[in-house]
Homo-oligomer: A and B are copies of this chain.
Amino acid sequence: MKTKKIINDGANAVDEMLEGVLAAHSAKVFALDHSPRSIIARDGPRPGKVGMVIGGGSGHEPSFLGFVGKGLADAAAIGNVFASPPPDPIIECTKAVNNGAGVLYMYGNYAGDVMNFDMAAEMVAMEDIEVRTVLTTDDVASAPADQRDKRRGVAGNVFVFKAAGAACDKMLPIDECERIARKANDRTFTFGVALSPCSLPQTLKPNFTLGEDEMEVGMGIHGEPGISKEKLKPADAITDELMDKILDEMAAPKGDRVAVIVNSLGSTPLMELYIMMRQVKKRLDQAGLALHLSLVGNYCTSLEMAGASITVMHLDAELQEMIDHPCDCAMFRAG
């Protein structure tokens, strides 16, 4: 049985999606003529500003291209579904947003992305563009706490990118932008569960299987298996399991402030996310943490996968300022 999707030829899904994005959001973003998978902010890159290039595979919308715009990323390099972009569009993004102050690469920590972005960085270095790379590693499910650099980047991207994008928008020098980006990543924690699979547009076949009453704890945003399969539990119990781990790792002192994302992996609707949000708030209250800001909805998806993740960012005064900084992107406005 094939998954039903509103697509034409699955092989063209990414390029056709991009055409639609450009049609809908031409006021905010454009694609480079000579590199149609390089999406650039109309308002953002400017003299003296550190350029910020994000990117990754498609299928995670609004990540990554939806976060291109004033106050956030200057450009996104777009890959095939669940596949890192090759170096070329990354290089073209880099050149398009380089204004002499250096360029920050930010993306999730996946082998493919690392290889492709590193190749791009090597090549633009030959043209004397200074590139700094900050990988996001917010997924607590993907490696033990003492191997943080092995972890994947998932929905926490949104906060980490947002903080870094604000630093760039405030015209801070590249050292500062990099420092803030790293701090944002260090203080951001995500954990999620998947309830049902998604299908790639080219195959229309579910990319994994789960029993009728099972959920996958720690599922990756490409359907990579997680930590364990468990019996589906009530929303409060799921939220507790995720928050236990996050709060434990975050170890935030009472009175501190946090920002939260309750993120749908694709098909889990707002009703369920807000039911989780209710329990997130209870847990924060119990931990004596103040909820500064919440995003609830589709932020980092896996096509139509069912499930959700919780992200908590442990704020300090600086990160709070960055998170509150306005941004105006194709698919995301804040501040």
Chain A positions within 8 Å of B, measured between CB atoms, are 1-2, 4-9, 13-14, 16-21, 23-25, 58-59, 61-62, 66, 193, 195-196, 201, 212-213, 215, 232, 234-236, 238, 260, 262, 266-278, 280-281, 291, 294, 296-298, 301, 303-304, 306-308, 331, 333
Copies in the complex: 2
Are A272's CB and B234's CB within 8 A?
A: no
Are B20's CB and A61's CB within 8 A?
A: no
Are A212's CB and B333's CB within 8 A?
A: no
Residues of B within 8 A of A304 (CB): 267-269, 306
Are A277's CB and B6's CB within 8 A?
A: no
Residues of B within 8 A of A59 (CB): 269, 271
Residues of B within 8 A of A296 (CB): 20, 24
Are B298's CB and A23's CB within 8 A?
A: no
Residues of B within 8 A of A7 (CB): 234-235, 271-272, 275
- Given the interface pairs A212-B2, A271-B61, the reply to whether A277 lies near B24 with Cβ below 8 Å is yes
Cα separation A215 to B5 with both chains bound (whole Å):
10
Are A8's CB and B275's CB within 8 A?
A: yes
- Given the interface pairs A2-B212, A267-B304, A281-B23, the reply to whether A17 lies near B297 with Cβ below 8 Å is no
Are B5's CB and A301's CB within 8 A?
A: no
Are B4's CB and A306's CB within 8 A?
A: yes
Are A4's CB and B62's CB within 8 A?
A: no
- Given the interface pairs A6-B272, A62-B270, A298-B298, the reply to whether A212 lies near B23 with Cβ below 8 Å is no
Cα separation A264 to B74 with both chains bound (whole Å):
28
Give the one of A6, A16, A238, A274 with max B CB within 10 A: A6
